Structures are given as C-alpha cells and as structure tokens.
Amino acid sequence: MSAESRGSTLLNRTNTEDPAYYHKVVDCQWACPAHTNVPEYIRLIAQGRFTDAYMLNRESNVFPAILGRTCDRPCEPACRRGRLDGKPVAICRLKRVAADHRGEITDLLPPIPAKKNGKRIGIVGAGPASLTVANDLMPHGYEVVIFEQNEKPGGLMRTNIPAFRLPAKVLDEETGTILNMGVDIRYNTPVKSMKALLAEKFDAIFIGSGAPRGKELEIPGRHDALLNGPRIHIGIDWLESISFGHIDSVGENVLIIGVGNTAMDCCRSSKRMGAKSVKVMARRPRAYFKASPWELDDAEEEHVEIVINHAPKRFVIENGKLTGMEFERLEWDAKAKNSRVIDTVFLPADDVILAIGQENAFPWFERDLGAQFDKWDQPVVDETTMVSTLPGVFFGGDAAFGPKNIIWAVEHGHQAAISIDNYCQDVAVTERPAAGMNLISQKMGLSEWSYHNDYNPASRQKMSHVDLASRFKQLDIEVELGFDPEQTAREVQRCLNCDVETEFVAARCIECDACIDICPLQCLTITRDGSEEDLRGRLSAPADNLTQSIYASAPLPQTARLMIKDEDLCVHCGLCAERCPTAAWDMQRFELEIPYAGRAAACTSSYVPA
C-alpha cells in the first residue's frame, strides 16, 4: 500500500492488474536485480527440462552457469521458505543444475540479422555489463565493437574470481555464446583516450570497465623498501597475477586484510599457493562482515583462521624484510559503531594481501569532454537510464556506481541497452518500456491444480565438495561438485511456488468464512475498512512486515466489509481456493513480462472474471 494509506485515510484498494503488485509478492524475483523468474525455472528443473530452465534463466541473467557458481544470491534472503524453516531454497545452486545439464542451445538463441541497421556501438571492457549490452543489441542489427585490454573476455569475472570457484571452461562457454553472435572484439586493446574513442564516430559508447583499482592501506611501513621483493599486495591485482600465471607461490604465513568476498578469494588462493598459515584480519565482529556467509564457511573449511576485532596499526619491516604486522585489538559497543583499544599485538607474516575494497578509475577519460565527475572523481550516471552527462555515452556495472556484483552488472547492461537503442532511434532515453504480465488459472478440476501445492518438509540440501587433500593439488580444481539427482529432486520440492497467486473476485464472495477457517497461516481477514496502520493491527495475525503489501479487496456484496490478505504470511498452498464454494478465490500463475532493448513486453492477462 502507499505511504499515504498508512495514516488516517482509508486503505487503497489493491490493483492486481499492475504487474508490480504480484511481482513484489514473488519475493525471490523481486529481490533479483535482473528479475529472473525463479519459481518457473525451478518447476522446469523438477520436470527434467534443463535446457528450458537454462534458457528461461538466460533471458534475464544472461550467465546462468557463471551466476550459478558465483552469484551473491540476493534472492535467497528474500525467499519465503526461509520464513518458515529458516533455510531458503538453494536457488543459486539449482540455477547451476540447469546449466550443467542443459543441451545444445545454439538454435534457441535469437537470430542475428545479416543486414545491419547502420548503427555502430563502441564498448569499453568485456565484463558482464558490456557483454549483456552486446547480447541485447546484436539481435537488432547493431554492429558492436568491444575494446578489451586482456587477451580473453570476462573482465573481473576472469581475473578476480579464482578458477576453483569459476572454471575457465564455464566462463569461456557463456562469454563465447555472446561473442559468437558476431561481436567484433579487439583483445589486448586498452582504451587510452576517451577523446580518441569519440573520434571514431560510434553512434553510442558504453563503458563497462569495472572497478579495477584496489584500495590502499596507508599506515607506517607500507612503502618501505623491501630487499626480497614486494610482499605487500593489492588483493585484486594479486588475484589477476595468479589468473595470468605471473605468481605461482606465496610465503608460509599470510595475512589477509579485509573480510569481503575478495578477501575470501585471496585467503583460499593463498592455501593453494603453498601458505601453511592464513589469517583473515577483520576490524569488526562477524555479524558485520561483508563476505557472504557461504564464502566464510568455505574458507574456514579450508582451515583459514578468521580473526575479529583487530585493526591494522603498522607493517613491521626489519633489515629490509617484512616480518609481520602490528594490530590494535579492539573492543566494540553493542552495535559495533564505537571501539576502544585494549591491546596491541604482533602477528608474523611473509606476505600481506590488502583486500579492503576497490574502486573504479578512469585515467584515460579526459575531463574536458563535457562529462561530469563527482567529488570522488566518479562519473555522474543516471541510475535508471545508465546515461552519463555526455550525450551518447553510457556506463554500467562497477564502472557506473562502484563495486557491486555480477547480477547487478547484468541488469545495468539490460537498462543501458534499452537506452542505447532509444538513443540510436531518436527516442528519449527516459522513455522506458513498461513491464507486462500474464495471469493464468491453474485450476484443472473442482479442487485440483496444475502445480504441486503440498508443503514438502525436506531440509535444504548441502553442497558436496572435493575433499581437502585433492582440492589443493591444482589451482583450477572446482571445489563445489553440484547437486546430484537426489539432492536436486528434494531441493526443487522445497519451493513454495510464490508466483501462483491467490486471485480474488469480491463479487463472488458470500462471506462464509470458509477460506479464513482453512488458512493455515491466518493470513486472511474479513473486516471493516480503515487505515493501513489500523488494519495491520487487527488482522487475524498482525501484519508486521511493512515492506510487503497487504491485499485489500473491493467492498464485499453482503456487508461492504473488505477481504484483507497479508501477502507476507501466505504460503500459496491454495487451500482457500479449494475450500471456497463460489470460486471467489482462484490460483493463478503470475508471469512478469520484462521488456528488453527493441522488444516490448506483452501486457496481457488470460483471466477474465465471469
């Protein structure tokens, strides 16, 4: 409901014809930056239709096999299953199942026109945002030229994600799918001057050069000369050196400064490079770490020690050699906002790896071209259109707003491609295509549905790993083995089918309370009208989650009261529709129609009330 409805005014009636309403109810899809249709691809996996599941994934997230291994999984904390038993559906790992078992997809990809449309697009970098732009524009006849400074595509996906998490074969296959559309990619060709790039007269330019600069740690000893070569490394540069084969060993004692996902890649890589003792040093308690919980678990499984409440004080250099670091041991208040030093400790180290963040950098972008840069020397970019203040120049991925993750880069690429297509067709970039939807009844009989609506009590499946002894033999041995068929079968049944919606027709309701009596979560209430704040407090079960809507019907014919439903509690079991004697409730599968560059969304609904 709107913010206004939470005051003294009456509750707004819910408009289920607005695609955003049911989209928000599908928590996982709403949380995904690219809005992948998660419940549908899980159902396709359950049916053994792996290729179809892969292609449905690819429609929105472009890189299912890559993301099935590396995604930050914003969908999983949102998953409704987690509100029931504390463990969300393993959405990311099921994505990998579809990717690992898919068939040939070449004939399923959109055809590429032999005759081009006369528009040339220049792209800087071959990372996920840039490749998404190419993926979306090539089917519409654009000529796409990518300038890539390295000898292979993928950007930071290749240089900063270790092969034991993302095998090169997987990366090559999915980047190759896009490049084989006819993209003109120029390897070993860094862009050294934006002015020179503009002089090539591209119709539009997209910059997806990532966030290639790691942050420094300016404390005493950082720049002291070392007689035995550099032993203090910037994390992303160090990972890149491993990727390109420039580094093949590390000292026995390694300290990692920082506790984000890059730090996890650095500490686990150190173990494979010969380190015996690896410590990850964190300033704050574990609850405030930036690293994903599963990344922390995987690191600790490999006997990496995570040390909390230690702030770097200085590098200790003796006789021109790094011997370790001094740390201030901290004690924090309850919310870890204020600390006091309780001790100073020394920890030995042969190598120190700094993984305290990264940022975008544009030394090649002259500042006199008309593009605005902010006080942090970052480009000013519109968050919706991805357009800069320099006409015809667009940004996306980490280059636009700093480090996020791959799935955000993909969504930036989709939105930038829409803007580029508009720009090249003389349409305002602010004119965004509307999303559409389909609603399809799942009714097959009097009380029978075409979806599996029984609650399955199976627990979340645990990923199997290569044993510790084997995984350190080579740098590129993938640790996660993927779900086996039995695990897959159990995990897909945990999905609650949140996209199968409870569609209500007020005119049919006789207020018999059958739906209210049968609802296992008490998410339905028939009550008098009122403000949202008032209603939330007097439902059958108070609706405490203000981020999720409550449904409000039109006035019911008998008493003019409203049918109210807490969308946050509903588990989409369909019992209300099974019990209803007048078919006022129906279970209808919601499908969000997402527009892409040159391709408007269908805005249809198959449901027409009798």
Q: How many CB atoms lie within 10 A of CB 4?
A: 11
Give the DSSP H/E element, type plus range, for residue 417: helix 406-424
| pLDDT value of residue 4 | 39
For residues 137 and 420, is the Cβ–Cβ distance under 8 A? yes
The token pair at 602 is: 């269908």
3-state secondary structure of 82: helix
3-state secondary structure of 263: helix
Strand-pairing partners, residue 373, are 379
Quick check: do 112-212+360-424 and 216-357 share a fold? yes
- Mean pLDDT score, 154-176: 96
Which of 610, 512, 496 is CA-nearest to residue 563?
A: 512
pLDDT in tens, 357-410: 988 889 999 999 999 999 888 999 999 999 999 999 999 999 999 888 999 999
pLDDT in tens, 486-545: 999 999 999 999 999 999 999 999 999 999 999 999 999 999 998 888 888 888 888 888
| pLDDT value of residue 604 | 47
pLDDT in tens, 243-270: 999 998 999 999 999 999 999 999 999 9
Count of CA atoms in the C-beta half-sphere (13 A) of 25: 30
| pLDDT value of residue 610 | 37
- Mean pLDDT score, 342-346: 97
Helix, strand, coil percentages (3-state) for the chain, rounded to 5, are 30, 20, 50
User: Span 112-212+360-424: which CATH code?
Assistant: 3.50.50.60
Average pLDDT for the chain: 93
- Mean pLDDT score, 145-149: 98
| pLDDT value of residue 9 | 63
| Domain segments of the chain as ranges | 1-27+435-458+493-610, 32-107+459-492, 112-212+360-424, 216-357
- Mean pLDDT score, 15-35: 95
Give CA–CA dist 406/410, Å, rounded: 6
User: Span 216-357: which CATH code?
Assistant: 3.50.50.60
Four-CA torsion 24, 25, 30, 31, nearest 10 degrees? 120
- Mean pLDDT score, 297-303: 96
| pLDDT value of residue 229 | 79
| pLDDT value of residue 10 | 67
| pLDDT value of residue 601 | 81
| pLDDT value of residue 8 | 45
pLDDT-derived band at 603 (thresholds 50, 70, 90) equals: low
Question: What is the SS3 assignment for 450-519?
Answer: CCCCCCCCCCCCCCCECCHHHHCCCCCCCCECCCCHHHHHHHHCCCCCCCEEEEECHHHCCCCCHHHHHC
Q: Name the residue with tokens 């990264």.
A: 358
- Residue 101: Cβ-neighbour burial (10 angstroms; 0-12, 13-18, 19+): middle
Strand-pairing partners, residue 265, are none
pLDDT in tens, 560-602: 999 999 999 999 999 999 999 999 999 999 999 999 999 888 7
